[in-house]
Amino acid sequence: MSVNQLELHKKNKLMVWLLIGTLLLGIALSDAVIQKTLSVVGVPFCLLCIGLTWKRIAVPYIMYLVSVGLAVIAFFFIKAGTTYDSLYLLYFAMAIISIYHNYRPLVLSGVLSIAMTVYFTQTKEIFADVNTVDIAAYQVVTLAALIASSVLGSKALKKAEISAAESAEAKTRTEEVLGGDRHSVQVLGTSIHSLQKNAAQTGEITKQVVAAFQEIASGIDTQSNSVSDISNAIGHVNDSISTSTDASVAMNEKSNATAQYTIQGKSKMEELSIHMNEIDRVVASTSVVMSEVNEENEKIGNIVTTISDIATQTNLLSLNASIEAARAGEHGRGFSVVASEIRKLAQHSEAASTEIATILESIQRKIEQAGQLVQQGQSIVETGKGSAGSVAELFTGIQSNAMELQTQAGHVHELNAKLNTASETVVQEVETVAAFTEQSAASVEEVLASSLEQQRFVEDIVTSIVQLQELMNKLEQTLEQ
């Protein structure tokens, strides 16, 4: 059953009770004959209306039955009446029917009232002096007014029903919205709590990130300083390597010169051996060619001078080689030994040349005694030949060592060249690392500044969330009220 039918059902119950009341009032005010008639006609009619209303059958049509029932009661009451006032019952019936605010049963009641008015004014003697048209006109005007009131009331009722429906719908929507708001408030409260917790955690993480970046920035600064120190140290090492390379070049040149001097010394020793052989022949024929011996003696003096010069030069070269070996450190130890041996040989050569010079001077002083000293001279020559052979062998060893030293000096030069190249590469790489470290330090400082700014933003967000939480608590209290 719809809402309109429920409202109509309520009106039907009211009208049925009014119908019963009217019937009882009519029975009470009538004589015995009319009472019997009203009882016979009205009671079944009222019972029918009660049954239909109780069972909610034909709800839209009960109002017409009530209109007919009131008209029937009015008909028998007026018929039995003896005064003019009984006609007011017709107006009473129309007034009661107007409660429906429906013009249809009201028109039915009005038509029945006008019909009964015409009927009774034409048939009943007490209404002989009554103008039927006037009474009918009053009834028509009354009916029109009631119809207008009913229509207006119906419209107002419909508007009220619409307003009530809208109010109910608005109330339902409001309750739904409030329910949704409560749920939203609960969800939003939970979300704000989670957001507050997450924001707090984010703040802590941001603080940790800022602290970490501060440590990283400090570490990068330290690393930058260390890289700068390393770069300076590598620069010094590179300078030392360049100096060592130059020294190795000089040592290589000195080694080449020493090799050349050794070759020359060997050649001179070979020449010395040849001259010693010649001296042997000269001494053998001293008695015959004294003058030739004198000339050869002068030649020998020149040779001895050359040997002395060579010995002196060799001594200087060995001294220089010792100095270079001392500079070379561990790698020059073998070369130092060789230089020492060369120095000894040079000293021996110088001593031998001095001794030969002394002998030659003695030969010159005692050239007259040459014949007597020939045998002694031959012995000395033999000794000189042996010494010359030994010196030749020593020069052969010196040459071999000089060649080996030259080879080693070449290797040292190559190694120094490679080391110099590697050192330059290391210097470039260190400079690149230093530049990258400085760039990284600048980037870390920028990130650190951004992290600090982000930390301030997070703190502002946490403050806003706390304020929002307070507003949500107030809103939740308002919704609960």
What is the amino acid identity at position 332?
G
Q: Is residue 376 part of a domain?
A: yes
Do 121 and 262 share a domain, yes or no?
no
Do 227 and 124 share a domain, yes or no?
no
Half-sphere exposure of 339 (CA within 13 A, CB side): 21
Domain end: 103, 130, 157, which one? 130
What is the amino acid identity at position 469?
Q
pTM of the model as a whole = 0.36
Do 288 and 402 share a domain, yes or no?
yes
3-state secondary structure of 40: helix
DSSP per-residue letters across 164-184? HHHHHHHHHHHHHHHHHHHHH
Domain end: 130, 161, 192, which one? 130
Please tell me the chain's helix, strand, coil percentages from 3-state DSSP, rounded to the nearest 5. Answer: 95, 0, 5
Do 124 and 225 share a domain, yes or no?
no
Q: Is residue 398 part of a domain?
A: yes
Do 246 and 379 share a domain, yes or no?
yes
Query: Tens place of pLDDT for every residue, the chain, 481 residues?
Result: 567 777 777 887 888 888 888 878 777 777 777 777 777 877 888 888 888 888 888 878 888 888 888 888 888 777 777 676 777 788 888 888 888 878 888 888 889 988 888 888 888 777 777 777 887 788 888 888 888 877 787 777 677 667 766 776 767 776 665 565 566 666 666 766 666 676 667 667 767 766 766 776 676 677 667 657 766 766 776 677 677 677 667 767 776 777 677 777 667 767 767 776 777 776 667 666 667 767 777 777 788 788 878 878 887 877 787 787 777 777 766 767 777 777 777 777 778 778 877 887 777 777 766 666 667 766 776 786 777 677 667 767 777 776 776 787 677 777 777 877 877 787 777 678 777 677 766 776 777 777 777 777 777 777 877 777 777 777 777 766 6
Q: Is residue 297 part of a domain?
A: yes
Cβ within 8 Å of residue 467, ≥6 positions away: none
Do 124 and 242 share a domain, yes or no?
no
Q: Is residue 175 part of a domain?
A: no
Domain end: 100, 130, 160, which one? 130
Q: Is residue 141 part of a domain?
A: no
Do 247 and 379 share a domain, yes or no?
yes
For residues 419 and 245, give the distance between their C-alpha atoms in angstroms, rounded to a whole number.
9
Q: Is residue 104 part of a domain?
A: yes
For residues 466 and 471, give the distance between their C-alpha atoms in angstroms, rounded to a whole number.
9
Q: Is residue 371 part of a domain?
A: yes
Do 387 and 278 share a domain, yes or no?
yes
For residues 161 and 113, give the distance between their C-alpha atoms in angstroms, rounded to a whole number.
31
Number of domains in the chain: 2
Domain range spanning residue 264? 219-460
Place of tokens 């207006």: 152
Do 124 and 234 share a domain, yes or no?
no
Q: Is residue 358 part of a domain?
A: yes
User: How far separated are the first and last CA of the chain, in Å rounded?
Assistant: 36
For residues 220 and 223, give the distance between their C-alpha atoms in angstroms, rounded to a whole number.
5
Do 119 and 231 share a domain, yes or no?
no
